[in-house]
Amino acid sequence: MKNYEAKCLLEARNELGEGPVWDEQLQELLWVDIEGRQLHRYRPNDGRKLQLQTEKMISAAVPAEDGTWLIALADGFYRLNLESGDMSLIARTEEETATNRLNDGKCDPAGRFWAGTMISTRKRNGHLYVLEDGKLSKRLSGIGCSNGLAWTADGTVMYYIDTFENEVYAFDYDAASGQIANRRIVIRFPEGEGSPDGMSIDSEGMLWIGHWGGWQIGRWNPLTGEKLATIPIPVRNVTSCAFGGESLDELYITTARIGNDEDQLKEQPLAGAVFRVKLDVKGLPVQRARG
């Protein structure tokens, strides 16, 4: 199995760093601290760092074609002006439990914004939503902890993670309608690997997955279920990753401080930091929201 070496890029101390996104137009990395209720920006070329505080938990952010950003807050989908910080509600989620909140989200190849909900207990009453033309619809129900999303380069397969299940699913995906079908398990996380969290897909169709509780990013083959490579991280809860850099051959990795007691945090001085690793494979550019 191949091993890569990651280096700490930013000692960010995020409570729950998540959802990294590389914007090739801005040449910036953006990510969220869900528990800290912040959207972070970092420009590697000159080291500029910016952050935006939100009133509610923010779990995902995606660039839109019109220059704005769409974000997932705890209770719904909003449009954000990245420069002014102004935001407006697009649609609220319809959850049976008030404590449910939106979690990870991404855009599909047609520019629809997908994000699902989770609950802090082990109940499975969350949903996977899709936002299209300002209208919200449900694609899945009975979800425990909606998490990573990815689509193949040819736009025919969608990968999806429900962290509570310790499995990665594949669906047949119809770009024209946004419908998914033929749910199947493609990866099962074995004991000792942690649980699958956020993920990204590379140009070869392999999945790079954050191992919550597993101290690593793993590269997995969704066609065989085999683990191909690992990036050890000196943080127990590794949350997500995104390809970036000028050639999309750098992987940016987010981590979390939550889920650890005081003694565990003493052993993880870089918990909550952002890491970066140079790879020998490239990723795909971010999909932008349309409409």
Distance in angstroms (rounded) separating the CA atoms of residues 237 and 240: 10
- Residue 197 annotated as catalytic: yes
Of 104, 197, 249, 261, the catalytic one is 197
Give the chain as a DSSP string: -EE---EEEE----SBEEEEEEETTTTEEEEEETTTTEEEEEETTTTEEEEEE-SS-EEEEEEBTTS-EEEEETTEEEEE-TTT--EEEEEE---SSTT-EEEEEEE-TTS-EEEEEE-SSS---EEEEEEETTEEEEEEEEESBEEEEEE-TTS-EEEEEEGGGTEEEEEEEETTTTEEEEEEEEEEPPTTS-EEEEEEEBTTS-EEEEEETTTEEEEEETTTTEEEEEEE-SSSBEEEEEEESTTS-EEEEEEBSTT--HHHHHT-TTTT-EEEEE-SS-B-PPPPB--
Residues belonging to the active site: 197
